[in-house]
Amino acid sequence: MDENLCEALSQACNECHLVGGCCFDARPPLSQERIDILLKNGVSADAVEFAGYKRLRLKPDGFCVLFQDGKCSIHSIKPETCVAGPFTFDMKGNILQIFIKRESICPMVRFLKANRKAFDGLFEASVERIMELVDKVPPEEMAEILKIDEPETDLVAEIKLKD
């Protein structure tokens, strides 16, 4: 993705983080590979919990355990669904459905809708990360992840996965 575009997206994300944004009540799923990356980079094993699937814990205030000083403390190595930002997913058989959160949930969506290049760049990166997660999480954990309700989203794509 273009460096200027990455900077613009980071700025939009940082502005939202002033109020917590998607880091509040966030329990992003983790593949074992992502856990290994986090641990190798100094994240404590206590930051990870298992409750049907491997995920990051919440602090008592309801924010992700890695949300510090108004921002993500592991921005460069954050979980796949955090990279995907306003894009989220569901599975229907071998169809990967990609949704975008509504502007009422994520202020970045307004920016993305006004800038097709930004939308397409983040969409492409998001789908890549989501597909990595889907590929690496054990099926029984993915079944638990797919039970999570994500209201206020709109379907933007359906991608047929290999059988």
At residue 1, the 3 state secondary structure works out as: coil
pLDDT number for residue 105:
79
pLDDT value, residue 31: 95
Gap between the Cα atoms of 116 and 121, Å rounded? 8
Q: What is the per-residue pLDDT for 14?
A: 64
Q: Is the pTM of this model over 0.85?
A: yes
Residues 66 and 41: their CA atoms lie apart, in Å, by 13
CA pair distance 136, 124, nearest whole angstrom: 19
Average pLDDT per consecutive 10 residues, the chain (163 residues; last block may be shorter): 63 60 86 96 96 96 89 87 91 95 84 89 93 95 93 94 82
